[in-house]
Amino acid sequence: MKRSKLGSSDLLVSEIGLGCMSLGTEEVSAIRLIHEALERDVNFLDTADLYDDGRNEAIVGKAIKGRRHDVILATKVGNRRTPGQEGTTWDPSKKYIISAVKESLTRLRTDYIDLYQLHGGTLEDPMDETIEAFEMLKQEGLIRHYGISSIRQNVVREYVSRSNIVSVMSQYSILDRRPEEEILPTLAANDISMIVRGPVAKGILSARGDQKTDNGYLEHKAAELQKIRAELQTLVHENRSMAQIAIRYVLSDPSVAVTIPGASSLDQLLHNIAAGDVTPLTEEEIAIIRDFSKAYHYADHR
């Protein structure tokens, strides 16, 4: 598996990681998937304290016990749960971040986190306070590096200019090319890497994706999704599936260090990992894809 340096950090991450959110709460099967990923040279695992109310972190922690040195471990913070209440509230305060990291470390069964990410962000946040918290945790050795998970260009721009983030996690796919407009060029100019989530667009860009188009995707209507799938099908051959083309597309940008397609089954996991071995897209193929797909603009949201 090819490895890339994550921004200006010393972290070398596999170009295909594992987004752990979709592993589910059945411990045995989830741990099996994580172990299978590690055996196949995947070293980047991404979770969050929000997923399954912390259960996801606990499963990841159990899975990597005795194998911590094999893993670049990433988790997220900012969505605060209040005991006895449903849902979460947004809390990027220094006090909360410093408290939450200790709980994540306990669940993950580790004494440090390789990449700690702010799980969202708005322009109204106390950014200086948030950045101060991450810098403090870094100085204390509780985290090695930090980043932000956001699709909001204005928020990303602020953190790029005001902090030492090494990565930005963002939704990015052939069906959602918003990062190409500003975020990716900004990251390239500042030695910051993108971590891509959603490269297969909720499964629409997969072999069975025609069954998932009825409700549309972002501003794409069902008919347009079917047309894009038909165009992509012309690039599929026996050694490269549509999902693998979708994964290779986002990896074609040099600022993308790793993509984290989710997997809820062994077959899905192995198929995603195999994208690391298929022939990369040529410049001509990338141009073809961009010709029949479109970049859309949406209202900013966390």
H or E segment and range at residue 271: helix 266-274
Which pair of tokens denotes residue 280? 């990369």
d(CA 144, CA 165): 11
279 close to 165: Cβ distance less than 8 angstroms = no
Continuous H helices in the chain = 27-39, 55-63, 94-108, 127-139, 153-162, 183-189, 222-233, 242-251, 266-274, 283-292
**Helix, strand, or coil (residue 232):** helix
Nearest to 169 by CA among 156, 182, 188: 156
259 close to 247: Cβ distance less than 8 angstroms = yes
Active site residue 217: no
d(CA 76, CA 89): 14
CA 12-119-102 angle, 5° bins? 80
- Residue type at position 64: I
Q: Which residues contact 175 (CB under 8 A, 6 or more apart)?
A: 201, 204, 205, 217, 218, 220, 225, 228, 293
Active-site residue, from 51, 159, 217, 249? 51
b/e map of 164-176 (b: 16 or more CB within 10 Å)? bbbbbbbbbbbbb
**Residues that are catalytic:** 51
